[in-house]
Amino acid sequence: MCQRAFGAFYAPLVIANRLEWTSGTRRLFASSNVSQRGFCGDCGTPLSLENFDDDLLEIATGTLDNPEIAPPTLQINYRYRCSFADGIGKLPEPETNMVADNDAWNAKVVSLQSQGEDDD
């Protein structure tokens, strides 16, 4: 279910205590009979997973200003993982000219999404 909600091979989440929303408008979508998903009402970025029967709030670590503060520590629902996901970090790196072309393309991009304090 997380793969479809995030459009990714997995959804890194961290339990959030005393969370403060600092920008944007969070919207909620009841994605199942037991939980709802928070997302940015302006750009659609997936933000959270919230259960109906408790106060548990999980935040997508990729949306944090500094995701390095919340590295994954446990793999939930590992039985549903994509067979190739574990090997992604072992794939060959692109050739130097492809990296340069990609860097040049990225330099032209002006993001319209909310920029955290650590974003360039």
Beta bridge partners of 12: none
What pLDDT, on the 0 to 100 scale, is given for residue 119?
A: 45
Beta bridge partners of 51: 35
Under 8 Å between Cβ of 56 and 50 = yes
What pLDDT, on the 0 to 100 scale, is given for residue 58?
A: 93
Give the span between the Cα atoms of 91 and 19, in whole angstroms.
Answer: 36
pLDDT in tens, 74-118: 888 888 888 898 898 899 999 999 999 999 999 999 987 766 554
Give the span between the Cα atoms of 32 and 52, in whole angstroms.
Answer: 10
Neighbours of 2 (CB within 10 A): 19
Q: What is the DSSP string of 3-35?
A: HHHHTSS---EEE-SS----SS-EEEE--SSSE
pTM of the model: 0.74
